[in-house]
Amino acid sequence: MKTALSAVLLFFLALTVTEASAQISDINAAINKAGRQRMLSQRMAKAYFQIGQKIDVDRSRKVLDSSISTFDRQLVELKAYAPSPDIKDVYLALEKSWLAYKDVLVGTAPSPENGRKVLLISEEVLALAQQGTVLLEKKSGTATGHLVNISGRQRMLSQRMAKFYQAASWGIADERSAGNLDRARKDFSDALQELSSARSNTSQITDGLFLVKQQWMFFENALGQKSGADKRPQLVVATTSERILEEMEGVVDLYEKLPK
């Protein structure tokens, strides 16, 4: 009886793993989802800081909740897909860091004290998510894989810039935050130029990047505004960071579908 029950449990476990793995169809899709984990690590911190400052609270809560759910799901998929032991090890390490991060994000109501913890742990989670993405791109070894990675990193940078801006406006930024924000702005601008000149760009990708450039002008202007007591600058950063993220998601998906 126990043997039969064990066999049934093993069958359903194998089925679950197979289904999770099947949700990542190829290496480009894996790079896309791995890159999205980078973005989510920053987006969750941004949303947390916005809730703490009572900025667009309802939408910020939805952003935080959906980001947590997506990160959980994609982590399972990436662990199941991991095509090599070193990549699997990265996602096992990310899982541990993620559990600590999630505990701070959902444990209590946002506070400046916990906000400082969120700022710190978001960097740890990002570093591991970045490592996994880079290893997957290396495994791919294709120009398309590189474009999926670079375009996907733009999503992360959009949220990273907003994260540091909101941290500063809440008074919880550390000594590295201002420099990290400036570096992210430069990296985003440089990568946008690199993507725009890619030979494999289709007309759809070119159109998508044009829309991103338009949104980038609004977003960069918003980042240059000083936060005030009326919180309008923080609200502008909150909304424009979501718009540029939406546009970049479409571009990354188009790169993912290019021939390998």
**Cα–Cα distance, 195 to 193 (Å, whole number):** 5
- Tens digits of residue pLDDT in 159-180: 999 999 999 999 999 999 999 9
- Tens digits of residue pLDDT in 72-86: 999 999 999 999 999
Q: Is the dihedral of CA 82, 88, 94, 98 positive or negative?
A: positive
Whether the predicted pLDDT of 1 surpasses 70: no
Residue carrying structure tokens 């039969």 = 4
**Cα–Cα distance, 239 to 56 (Å, whole number):** 9
Per-residue pLDDT at 80: 96
What is the distance of C-alpha 145 from the center of its chain? Answer: 17
**Cα–Cα distance, 72 to 159 (Å, whole number):** 18
Q: Using CB atoms within 10 Å of the CB of residue 129, give its burial: 0 to 12 exposed, 13 to 18 middle, 19+ buried.
A: buried
Per-residue pLDDT at 260: 73
What's the Cα-to-Cα distance from 177 to each of 102, 105, 169, 181, 197, rounded to whole Å? 22, 20, 12, 6, 31
Neighbours of 100 (CB within 10 A): 13
The mean of the pLDDT values for the chain is 92
**Cα–Cα distance, 40 to 94 (Å, whole number):** 13
**Cα–Cα distance, 191 to 161 (Å, whole number):** 15
Q: Read off the pTM.
A: 0.90
Whether the predicted pLDDT of 222 surpasses 50: yes
- Tens digits of residue pLDDT in 226-243: 887 788 999 999 999 999
Q: How many residues does the chain have?
A: 260
